[in-house]
Structure 1
């Protein structure tokens, strides 16, 4: 099985690389350091398994998983996360992840999770299993996420606003004009029904776009 590893920390990527290379049934075909690279490599390399960090620079693991799933580049995504809160777990599952492993897990548990996802099953770390019930019971998102109607670009802008960046900083980060960012900001407030940046920040945290 062809695998792609996505994590912005070199030490973490090295550890995952060693873990995968010790297996006879998996071939590591690529590594990515952020969400944009993950999407590009998933399209180019067509991996059958992706190990994805949930927090990535530029584009979060959740948004990257959502795009990879939507484009059908890979349907076996195992999310790795330092977070055990419900919003992160449900956001990951609704983005298309087939598993969720907390980073405090042992190497043996991660191998078990990989086995499960490779065989078409789901895997949740014991610490977050109870959080998965809501997402499994409501897989189509009938309790609609407030960000479900936002474009990928709008979600990027929302994350950067919530991360404390101003319009010019966001414009530089995304290679857009400040006026375009201001338009995105106004659209976000209208679509999400908030009037202040603090409201955008609360939604971004709740939906797992960044850590609290």
Structure 2
């Protein structure tokens, strides 16, 4: 009886069915790789990862319920050996550093998945970091800025505050943000007040302008 080939098990956490299907097709076309589970929300992802014990998790940063960064933190606190490759439709400048701090080994923009997905997965499976040349340069620049004593106040925001700040920059109202993040409008208003204090602005209009400018600079 021949020995059964042990396959590399990969879990996908993404709230877009077509994206999950496309990623699954790319992954299963590789010899020895299989998609052992999929999930659409943060909580579902934590459950599937716990059940499947995958070698690698592909996780979208932005989910309709929860977010990928918090998922990475939750799973890593229980099982620090799980490898994560974060994917996102947003520019690296918005979330890559936070994903790495949460425990991801790689970050890939969704627009680049066709060209770089397989290489990114192989790199992370080897327990090596995968990041673009642009991000490498940005991290070096950020390190140099920190040594000079300069700090961007946006860097002081929590992951949730950064997410709400981004949505404000996209022009979303408090009600729309609350609905998308499954939070109350009171909670969003509280976060808005925290944002104004941390970013040293006094009005909602100033906060909106700053958020919009940050969004433009990240594109």
| Aligned match of 1:111 | 118
**TM-score between the two structures when normalised by the length of structure 1:** 0.68
| Aligned match of 1:79 | 86
- Which structure 1 residue ranges, 5 or more long, are not aligned? none
Q: CA RMSD in A?
A: 4.1
2:184 and 2:114 map into 1 onto residues whose CA distance is 45
The structural deviation recorded for 1:99 is 1.3
- Check 1:157–1:109 CA distance in 2 against 1; reply closer, same or farther (3 A cut): closer
Q: Does 1:194 align with 2:201?
A: yes
How many residue pairs were aligned?
Answer: 207
1:72 and 1:145 map into 2 onto residues whose CA distance is 32
2:23 pairs with 10, 16, 31, which one?
16
The structural deviation recorded for 1:15 is 1.9
**TM-score between the two structures when normalised by the length of structure 2:** 0.66
- Check 1:60–1:162 CA distance in 2 against 1; reply closer, same or farther (3 A cut): farther
Q: 1:20-59, aligned counterparts within 5 Å?
A: 20-59=27-66
| Aligned match of 2:68 | 61
| Aligned match of 2:189 | 182
The structural deviation recorded for 1:120 is 0.8
> Conserved in 2, the CA contact under 8 Å of 1:3 and 1:50?
yes
The structural deviation recorded for 1:127 is 5.1
Greater helix proportion:
2
| Aligned match of 1:101 | 108
- Check 1:127–1:134 CA distance in 2 against 1; reply closer, same or farther (3 A cut): closer
If you compute each CA radius of gyration, which structure gives the higher value, 1 or 2? 2
> Conserved in 2, the CA contact under 8 Å of 1:147 and 1:192?
no
> Conserved in 2, the CA contact under 8 Å of 1:52 and 1:78?
yes
> Conserved in 2, the CA contact under 8 Å of 1:3 and 1:47?
yes
